[in-house]
A and B are shown apart, each in its own frame.
Chain A
Amino acid sequence: MSNTVSTDSLTSIQLSAEQLGFSIADKKIIEQVSLTLTQGEMLGVIGPNGAGKTSLLKLLYGAYQAQTGAVTLQSQNLASYSAMQIAQQVAVVSQHETNSFDLSVLDIARMGLVPHKSLFALDSADDKQVIQQALDKVDLIDKQTRIFSTLSGGEQQRALIARALVQQADILILDEPTNHLDVYYQHQILSLIKKLNLSVIVTIHDLNLAAQYCDKLCLLNRGQIVSHGTPEQVLTVEQLTDVFRLPCMIDTQPFSNKIRINFAPANNQLLEQLKVLAND
C-alpha cells in the first residue's frame, strides 16, 4: 500500500507543513513541525494534553498564522489563499461549543454551502441534493428536522461531519471527534470518516483507536514532533513511555491485527525494567 503512494507522492501531496513555529507571548506552542498529508490518507495526530495538537490543526487550516515555516495547500502557500478559498478545500470539524438556539440538523448541514455561494444566492436544486447526499452518508437523513441539541453525542458529531461534507472539500480536519463518545460511537464515527475516502487529519486521544484507523500517525510532545510515520513506526514502547511517562507494553489487537498498547499505572521501578527490556 505505502509503496504505491510513494511512487507518485509528489503529485498527490494535499497538504504539508515545513518547519512550523508558533508561539503566543514568548511561549512556544509549536516548534519545527513538518508533516505531509497525501491523497486519501488518514493522518492521526496523537500526544498528551497540552502537546499542541489543536494549535497544530489551527495552523494547518489557517486559523493561526505560523511565525516561522509555512503550510502548503495543493502546492501553494496557505497564506496566499483567502479564508473563503481555504474553506473550499479544507473542511474542519472543531470541538464544538453548545449553542443556545434550536438549530435543526438540516440547518447545520446547510452551513457547508457558505464557501460556495455568493451574497443573496439561494439554494439550487443541486445544493439541496448535495445536502441530502451528505446527510445520507452520515445516516441522518431521517433525522434532518430534529433539533441538534436533542441528538446523542454521536449524532451531533455526524451532523457536524455532514456539514463538512456539504463543503465538498478534499481535505477534512477533525479535532477529537471521538471525545465524550462511548465506545460504540467512537468506532462508528471513525469508520464513517475512513469510508469517506477523503484526505483526513484527525486528533485522537485513544492510541488504540488511532492505531486501528489511521494510515499514518504523528506523535506530538511539547509542541514538537517526536515521530511521524506508520502506526508501527510511531507507536513503540520507547517513544510512548517517553512521551506519556507511563510504563507500557505492545501486542496486537485480536480483531484488526493492528498494534495494541497497554499502559500500566505510573511506577518508576516498572519503567526502568521495561527500558532494560526494550534495549535488549
Chain B
Amino acid sequence: MINTMPLKWILLIFTTLISMALSLGLGSSQIGFNDVWQCLFSECQSPIKHAVIHEIRLPRILVGFIAGAGLAVAGSLLQNTTRNPLADPYLFGIVSGAGLGATLGSVLFADANLGLPFMAFMGAAFSIVLVLAVVSSSRQRKLEHMLLAGVAVSFMLSAMTSFTLYFGDAFATNRVIFWLMGSLARAEYQALYFMAPVLIIALVLAMAFARQLDALLLSDENAKTLGIKVEWLRIGVLIICAALTAVIVAYCGGIGFVGLMIPHMIRPFFGVTTTKLLFAVALSGGIFLVWVDVVARTALGSQEIPLGVITSAIGSIFFLILMRRMR
C-alpha cells in the first residue's frame, strides 16, 4: 500500500498558493497573471493596478482566506468535541449574538458610532456568556445540554434582533440585514490583526491538546478513564471556537455552512484526528472562501452577491448530495 498522505498535502498547499495568485487577477477589472506576479514581487506597471492589488484585492483575499480557515477550524473542533457531525459555530448562538450587537449598534446607539465590528463582537461575546451560563448552571453538564443551550440562546437573540429591526428605521435595518448576509467588501488589513492571532492561538491550543481531543472522539467515558477532564476540555474548546467565530463574524458578517461543510469534505481524505484534520480544513476552508468571494464579485458584473447567499446555496446542495451518497 502506497502512503498517499504526502501527495495530498502537496496538492492542498499547491492549490492554496494557486488560488491566492489567480484570485488576485479576478474581479470587476481583470488583471493578467504576469501583471499580478510583477505587482507582488517587483514593480507594478500602473499605479491603478498597484492600488487594486495591494489596497483592495490582497487584503480582501487574505481576510477571506483567514475567515474561511477560521470557520472551518471552529466547525471541525466543535464537531469533534461534541461528536456531532452537525455541530457548527453558528449553532451556539454566536452569529445571532453578533447580529443583535450589530443591530443595537446601528439602530439604538447609532449616535455613539462604535463601529459595526466592535458591536458585533460584543454581541457574540454576550451570546457565549449566555450559553456558558446555561451550561454551567445545568446540573449534569451533558453534551446534549450544551447543544440545546446554544440553540435556545440563538433563537432568543434572533427574536430580539428581529424585534429591534422591526421598529428601527429603514436605513439602519438595511445596513444590518446586508451585513448579516456576509461580505468581504469592507475587508482591510486591520481585520487581519484581530482575526489571524485568534486563529493561530486556536490552532496552537488544539495542537497542545491534540491527544486529549482525539481521545474524546471515541466517547466521554473513554476520555475520562484516560485521565482527561472532559467537561473543562469541552468548555475550553467552546470558548476558543466562540472567540474565533466572533472576530470573523464581526468583520465579515454571517457566512453560513463553511464550518459545517468543509470538515465533512475533508475527513474522507485526511482522517478524523485533530492535527491532520485542522490543518487540512484550515487550508481548504480558506481556499473555498477565496473562490466564493471571486464568484461574489464577478458573477453579476458590477453588483456584488452577498457571500452568505453563495455559501448557503452551495452548502445545501452539498448536503443533499451527501445524503444521497450515504444511502
**Are both chains from one complex?**
yes
Q: How many Å lie between the Cα of A108 and that of B84 in the bound state? A: 18
Whether the Cβ atoms of A102 and B227 lie closer than 8 Å is no
28 A-B pairs in the complex with CB atoms less than 8 angstroms apart: A61-B225, A63-B225, A82-B227, A83-B228, A83-B229, A87-B226, A88-B227, A92-B225, A94-B219, A94-B222, A96-B219, A96-B221, A99-B83, A99-B218, A101-B85, A101-B267, A102-B271, A103-B218, A103-B273, A107-B214, A107-B217, A108-B218, A111-B215, A114-B226, A114-B227, A115-B226, A115-B227, A167-B226
Total A-B contacts with CB atoms under 8 angstroms apart: 82
Number of interface residues of A (CB under 8 A): 36
Q: What's the minimum C-beta distance from A51 to chain B, rounded to whole angstroms? A: 20
Is A86 among interface residues, defined by CB-CB distance under 8 A?
Answer: yes
Please indicate the chain B residues that have their CB under 8 angstroms from the CB of A100 in the complex: 83-85
User: How does the 8 Å CB contact mask read for B1-44 relative to A, with 1 for contact and 0 for none?
Assistant: 10000000000000000000000000000000000000000000
Please indicate the chain A residues that have their CB under 8 angstroms from the CB of B1 in the complex: 145
User: How does the 8 Å CB contact mask read for B219-235 relative to A, with 1 for contact and 0 for none?
Assistant: 10110111111000000
Select from chain A the residue with minimum beta-carbon distance to B229.
A83
Other contacts beyond A88-B227, A100-B85: 13, CB < 8 A: A90-B225, A94-B221, A97-B219, A99-B83, A100-B84, A102-B271, A103-B217, A107-B217, A111-B214, A111-B222, A111-B226, A117-B211, A121-B211
Please indicate the chain A residues that have their CB under 8 angstroms from the CB of B212 in the complex: 114
Whether the Cβ atoms of B217 and A101 lie closer than 8 Å is yes
Q: How many Å lie between the Cα of A163 and that of B226 in the bound state? A: 10
A104-B271, A114-B227 as given contacts; A120 in contact with B84, CB under 8 Å: no
A61-B225, A101-B272 as given contacts; A114 in contact with B215, CB under 8 Å: yes
Select from chain A the residue with minimum beta-carbon distance to B84.
A100
Is A66 among interface residues, defined by CB-CB distance under 8 A?
Answer: no
Whether the Cβ atoms of B217 and A99 lie closer than 8 Å is yes
Q: What's the minimum C-beta distance from B146 to chain A, rounded to whole angstroms? A: 16
Q: What's the minimum C-beta distance from B132 to chain A, rounded to whole angstroms? A: 23
Select from chain B the residue with minimum beta-carbon distance to A61.
B225
User: How does the 8 Å CB contact mask read for A72-108 relative to B, with 1 for contact and 0 for none?
Assistant: 0000000000111111101110101101111110011
Please indicate the chain A residues that have their CB under 8 angstroms from the CB of B225 in the complex: 61, 63, 87, 90-92, 94
Q: How many Å lie between the Cα of A170 and that of B215 in the bound state? A: 21
Contact residues of A between 25 and 67, Cβ < 8 Å to B: 61, 63
Whether the Cβ atoms of A84 and B219 lie closer than 8 Å is no
Is A112 among interface residues, defined by CB-CB distance under 8 A?
Answer: yes
Is B51 among interface residues, defined by CB-CB distance under 8 A?
Answer: no
User: How does the 8 Å CB contact mask read for B244-278 relative to A, with 1 for contact and 0 for none?
Assistant: 00000000000000000000000100011100000
Please indicate the chain B residues that have their CB under 8 angstroms from the CB of A103 in the complex: 217-218, 272-273
Please indicate the chain B residues that have their CB under 8 angstroms from the CB of A85 in the complex: 227
Is B209 among interface residues, defined by CB-CB distance under 8 A?
Answer: yes
Number of interface residues of B (CB under 8 A): 27
Whether the Cβ atoms of A107 and B272 lie closer than 8 Å is yes
User: How does the 8 Å CB contact mask read for A147-159 relative to B, with 1 for contact and 0 for none?
Assistant: 0000000000000
Whether the Cβ atoms of B218 and A111 lie closer than 8 Å is yes
Is A228 among interface residues, defined by CB-CB distance under 8 A?
Answer: no
Please indicate the chain B residues that have their CB under 8 angstroms from the CB of A216 in the complex: none
Q: What's the minimum C-beta distance from B260 to chain A, rounded to whole angstroms? A: 14
Please indicate the chain B residues that have their CB under 8 angstroms from the CB of A94 in the complex: 219, 221-222, 225
Q: What's the minimum C-beta distance from A244 to chain B, rounded to whole angstroms? A: 28
Is B207 among interface residues, defined by CB-CB distance under 8 A?
Answer: yes
Whether the Cβ atoms of A99 and B219 lie closer than 8 Å is yes
Is B127 among interface residues, defined by CB-CB distance under 8 A?
Answer: no
Whether the Cβ atoms of B211 and A114 lie closer than 8 Å is yes
Select from chain B the residue with minimum beta-carbon distance to A88.
B227
Is B80 among interface residues, defined by CB-CB distance under 8 A?
Answer: yes
Select from chain A the residue with minimum beta-carbon distance to B80.
A101
Contact residues of A between 132 and 178, Cβ < 8 Å to B: 145, 163, 167
Whether the Cβ atoms of A87 and B227 lie closer than 8 Å is yes
Select from chain B the residue with minimum beta-carbon distance to A96.
B219
A-B pairs, top 6 by smallest CB distance, nearest first, are: A87-B227, A84-B227, A92-B225, A83-B227, A114-B226, A119-B208
With beta carbons under 8 angstroms apart, the residue of A63, A86, A96, A117 that contacts B218 is A96
